[in-house]
Amino acid sequence: MTNPSEHSQERRNIAVIGAGIVGVSCALYLQQAGFNVTLFDRDEPGSGATYGNACTFALYGSIPVNRPDLIWRFPSLMFGQERPLSIAWRYMPKMIPWLMQFLKHCRREHVDRTINGLGSLLRDAEDASMILFRASGGNDLISRDGTIYIYPTSESFDTDAINRQRRLAQGAQIEELTATDLQDLEPNLAPIFPHAVLYPNGFTILDPKQMTSRMADHLCHTGGQFIKGEVSAVEAQSADSVAFKVNGNRHHYDQAVLAGGAWSMQIAKGGCEELPLDTERGYHVLFSESAELLNRPVGFADAGFYMTPMYQGLRAAGTVELGGLNAAPNPERLSYIERRVRQALPDVGPVSDTWLGFRPTLPDSLPVIGRSRHNPNLIFAFGHHHLGLTLGGITGKLVSEIAAGAIPSLDVTPFRPDRFS
C-alpha cells in the first residue's frame, strides 16, 4: 500500500466532511497548503455546535471535564439536575463502555496527561485561528475584554485553587479580583460573589456562526468549494483514495478529513475503526434584550456555564449532559441555567430563545487528530468537547501538515486515534 505521505504533490484533491468551525478551519489551512479543497455538510457552515456555543475563545481551557473528584461524585451525577454535569439515567445502559473509560481517565495521572495535551494545543491556538479570522474579514466579530469566573462562596474559590494553578502552569494569565473589583468591572452583577478571577487573554467571538460563514465564503472565493449534502458510507476506494456518498451519489478523493463533530462515527460507520465517541449535550438560553448588562463573558465556576454578551443578546451557554443524540431537550437543564442567571443578574430580561447542541466527546477529553489506521487516506479531526471554537485553527494547521506528509508543528501523540486500542 502506498504511504499517504508519499507523492504528496500528486495527491492534492481533498474533501473535508463537516463545516463547523473545526472543519472550515481545516479546509482553509489545507487550501493554504496548496490542496484542492471541497467542503461538505448537510447544513450551512457553522450551523451545529458552532452556532450555539458560549462564544468564548478560552485560552485558559486546559482543565477537562473528567477529574478525580468525579469518581466519588458519580452516583449523584446520574440523577441530579442542579449540577453542571449530569447523566441521563435512561441512557446509562448504552453508555456503560464509554463511562468505564471516562472514569478510568478521571485518575490523576490520566488527567495530568489530558491537561498537558490541551495545554500544548492552547499555546498555539490564538495565532493559528487569528490567521484565518483576519483573512476572512472577521476582525469586527472579535471583542477583547477578557473573561471573568465568579465564585459564590470562599469555599468554592479555595476548592478551585488547584485548577487555577494548573492553568497557570499551562501558560494562562490570571488576575484575582476582589468583590469590589468585580463590581467595578461588572456593576450589574448581584453583589453576592465574594471572589472572582479575570482571564485577560480570553476573548469573545461575537457571532460564531457568522465568523464560520465568513470563513467558508473566503474558502469559496479563493478556489475552494462547498457542497451541501448528507455524507455517508465512507470507505477506502483504493490504496490511494477514499470514497463516500453525498445524497446517495458516490464521490472519491485522494484524501478526506472527517470533522463531523458528534456525528463523525455515524458518518464513517464501517469505513474506519470505531472510536469511543459520544456527545456532551450543551444548552443555551438567550436573553435578547439583555446584552448590555455585561461587558464580557462571565462564567460560573460552580455552575458550568457562561453568560456572554454577543450580537444576538446575552447568551447563557454551557453545562454538560450525557444523554446521547436522540433524546429531546431536557427542560430541567434550561430551567437550571435561567434560574442561575436571574440570581446573578437581577435585571435580566425575558428568555427569547433556547437551544440544545451536541459536542463531540471522547472519554479522555482530548480530540483525535491523525490518520485512521484502517483507512489511512482518512484523517480524523473531531472530539473537541467544548473547545471547538478555541481549537479549530490549531487543529486545521495540524491536519494540513499531516495531509501534506510534513512533520506536525507540535507533538500530536496525545491525539492519536489509536490511543484507545
Task: Kindly tell me if the per-residue pLDDT of 145 is higher than 80.
Answer: yes
pLDDT at 79: 59
- φ, ψ for residue 152 (rounded to 5)? -75, -20
Distance between CA atoms of residues 406 and 239, nearest Å: 20
How far lies 355's CA from each of 43, 316, 351, in Å? 16, 10, 11
pLDDT at 10: 54
Task: Kindly tell me if the per-residue pLDDT of 42 is higher than 50.
Answer: yes
Cell triple for residue 40? 461538505
pLDDT at 172: 96
pLDDT digits (tens, 9 = 90+) for 184-239: 999 999 999 999 999 999 999 999 999 999 999 999 999 999 999 999 989 876 78
Mean pLDDT, the chain, as a whole number? 93
Residues 292-315 have a mean pLDDT of 95
**pTM (2 decimals)?**
0.94
Distance between CA atoms of residues 379 and 373, nearest Å: 10
Percent of the chain topping pLDDT 70: 94
pLDDT digits (tens, 9 = 90+) for 77-120: 555 556 677 777 778 788 889 989 998 999 999 999 999 999 99
pLDDT at 80: 58
pLDDT at 7: 40
Residues 118-145 have a mean pLDDT of 98
Distance between CA atoms of residues 167 and 173, nearest Å: 8
Task: Kindly tell me if the per-residue pLDDT of 58 is higher than 60.
Answer: yes
The 3-class secondary structure across the chain, one letter per residue, is: CCCCCCCHHHCCEEEEECCCHHHHHHHHHHHHCCCEEEEEECCCCCCCHHHHCCCEECCCCCCCCCCCHHHHHHHHHHHCCCCCEEECHHHHHHHHHHHHHHHHCCCHHHHHHHHHHHHHHHHCHHHHHHHHHHHCCCHHHEECCCEEEEECCHHHHHHCHHHHHHHHHCCCCCEEECHHHHHHHCCCCCCCCCEEEEECCCEEECCHHHHHHHHHHHHHHCCCEEEECCEEEEEEEECCEEEEEECCEEEEECEEEECCHHHHHHHCCCCCCCCCCEEEEEEEEEECCCHHHCCCCEEECCCCEEEEEECCEEEEEEEEEECCCCCCCCHHHHHHHHHHHHHHCCCCCCCCEEEEEEEEECCCCCCEEEECCCCCCEEEEECCCCCHHHHHHHHHHHHHHHHCCCCCCCCCHHHCHHHHC
Residues 264-290 have a mean pLDDT of 94
Task: Kindly tell me if the per-residue pLDDT of 295 is higher than 60.
Answer: yes
Task: Kindly tell me if the per-residue pLDDT of 270 is higher than 60.
Answer: yes
pLDDT at 343: 96
Q: Would residue 261 be called left, alpha or beta, if left means φ above 0 and alpha means ψ between -120 and 50 degrees?
A: left
Residues 155-162 have a mean pLDDT of 94
Report the range of poorest mean pLDDT among 34-48, 112-126, 144-158, 320-334: 320-334
Residues 157-172 have a mean pLDDT of 95
CA dihedral over 247, 376, 253, 15, signed as positive or negative: positive
List residues bridging with 205 in a β-sheet.
Answer: 142
pLDDT at 8: 46
β pairing state of 56-57 and 305-310: unpaired
pLDDT digits (tens, 9 = 90+) for 372-421: 999 999 999 999 999 999 999 999 999 999 999 999 999 999 999 999 98
How far lies 272's CA from each of 373, 375, 392, in Å? 8, 6, 23
Confidence of residue 368 (pLDDT cuts 50, 70, 90): very high
pLDDT at 94: 86
pLDDT at 103: 87
Task: Kindly tell me if the per-residue pLDDT of 371 is higher than 80.
Answer: yes
CB-CB neighbours of 287 under 10 Å: 24
Distance between CA atoms of residues 173 and 58, nearest Å: 11
Residues 348-361 have a mean pLDDT of 97
